[in-house]
Structure 1
């Protein structure tokens, strides 16, 4: 994308003489922008690298839902997040034309800091803080009322069934064996059955939906900030809790759960459900990358290990929370 076109976008936000630096192109094209006064921003062109990566989060209404939520969350005192900018028309989305198509673009304030690293989560104090921060996010979501959530990605029972169908496409692509696909189907079906049996109404709400070390910023004073809310939408809180647990070493996972749940975190019922959501999170990565040929070799190599080391023991009733 030409620098002149990027500058035109920033002009819509009255950001003059911008210095624009390309970051990456994955789910979106992203750029760091520094204005003439030194203020920094994140510009996003919501054009996924592969067509198969496109989803509701890229549509105008879907993106608007994310930005409206972020605008409210940025005014909440308990968590530090990026704030969406409004253009000259007072809108949070600027539509552009590129390569003969129309794309949505948005601008967020910049967060100074660095991605959370593996070494960081060896600190028990930080691990407990991570759990507490996810709990604070869910607390905000519990009080947040917004229309149009049907335009956002939803990670519920129906999405889990959809994942089964996508994984089956791996057979035609010669990525997975039929036995491994069957194991994945049994695993997802068991998770769904346990959710239905237990009800878990209290665990359904809004979630980040894509927590990872790369989607958490640690500031210079040690604060944690969540970024990349592209999968924000309805889902089970277990999704975020499980994703957080997988960032943390096995010996600190109880500390992490204490941060999220408080002292009431040792119930086997919760652990069984969290184990299932850990596996769903891993399977979800395969689903998201199904059209990305650059990771096919990795997928072929890793799927048998996922099934043998984790899914099969899970199906047999073994505890895997501390080993995934």
Structure 2
């Protein structure tokens, strides 16, 4: 079986001196070190994203970098492709290489200045992504059937099932009306959290990990930060670079509801498939329903 270092050496103009597993779940993510540089190798889970979808992702990173946005730069294979494919026992898996971004992941305590910088960088990323076009396909960030999939595994008549049914129906109806009023659709990062940034010594914010990126309501990339105590400085940083409409901001509570339902799908369906049914007793499902109930109260539904 090919080792990670062999996979890199055989497919890229890189001579690896070390490989460290950084994360393993939906994808296996490795830090690849050379004598004078560092990279990230992402081996996508079997059946997760096909080769053309990964090409879309890598091409997006390159376009953003060319536009001056600090992101993880793509590295093409020896044949000039954006992606490779490796055979595995579970089936073919796509892989891609990017440069390791400078700086490090921010650690608490957080600050207004950090969130302001993150907001400003995200705004510039969105603006640059608006002109991105690709011959490669990419699925939307949200499939659209997440509520139905969650409902299907909940007991009929249960309060939890009723909560998902009610909140999903209301959120969809409200977003449908806002879409008619100009709610902005565009390329999203898909997981624009502090977990997916580095900050260097000069305070430059670098975004990476675009495997959840795709078309969607762009304002939803702001939902996580807007639920924190740093919402004010984060929003100030964003609108200083890119104005938002009242329609965009009005959508946030409804997108937050759908985001909580997405999270429930992950913990009720996706995670048990990958890691076993014991994960259902870890408390994440209960916290997910609590979060959805809180979001529903905040939205008034």
TM-score > 0.5 by shorter chain: yes
Q: Match of 2:160?
A: 180
**Pairing of 1:93-172 with structure 2 (within 5 A):** 93-99=83-89, 101-120=91-110, 123-148=111-136, 151-155=137-141, 159-160=143-144, 162-171=145-154
Contact 1:257 1:265 in 2 (8 A): no
Deviation for aligned residue 1:282:
2.5
1:67 aligns with 2:58: yes
**For 1:126-157, what per-residue CA distance to the aligned partner results, in whole angstroms no more than 9, with x for missing partners?**
22222211111110011222233xx323146x
Q: TM-score, normalised by structure 1?
A: 0.81
Rate the CA distance shift 1:76–1:313 in 2: closer, same or farther, 3 A.
closer
1:91 aligns with 2:75: no
Q: Supply the distance in 2 between the matched residues of 1:4 and 1:124 (Cα, whole angstroms).
A: 43
TM-align CA RMSD: 2.5
1:310 aligns with 2:300: no
Q: Supply the distance in 2 between the matched residues of 1:73 and 1:239 (Cα, whole angstroms).
A: 19
Q: Supply the distance in 1 between the matched residues of 2:92 and 2:44 (Cα, whole angstroms).
A: 10
Contact 1:7 1:18 in 2 (8 A): no
Deviation for aligned residue 1:270:
4.6
Rate the CA distance shift 1:296–1:191 in 2: closer, same or farther, 3 A.
same
Rate the CA distance shift 1:100–1:306 in 2: closer, same or farther, 3 A.
closer
1:299 aligns with 2:277: no
1:284 aligns with 2:262: yes
Pick which of 195-204 and 130-139 moved more: 195-204
Rate the CA distance shift 1:276–1:86 in 2: closer, same or farther, 3 A.
same
Q: Supply the distance in 1 between the matched residues of 2:117 and 2:4 (Cα, whole angstroms).
A: 41
Q: Supply the distance in 2 between the matched residues of 1:200 and 1:170 (Cα, whole angstroms).
A: 35
**For 1:264-284, what per-residue CA distance to the aligned partner results, in whole angstroms no more than 9, with x for missing partners?**
7695x5543211222222222
Q: Match of 2:38?
A: 40
Contact 1:183 1:312 in 2 (8 A): no
Q: Match of 1:51?
A: none
Rate the CA distance shift 1:153–1:116 in 2: closer, same or farther, 3 A.
farther
Q: Supply the distance in 1 between the matched residues of 2:189 and 2:291 (Cα, whole angstroms).
A: 24
Alignment length, in residue pairs? 292
Query: Which residues of structure 1 form unaligned runs of 5+?
Result: 49-53, 317-324
Q: TM-score, normalised by structure 2?
A: 0.86
DSSP 3-state at the match of 2:187: strand
Q: Match of 2:275?
A: none
Q: Match of 1:16?
A: 15
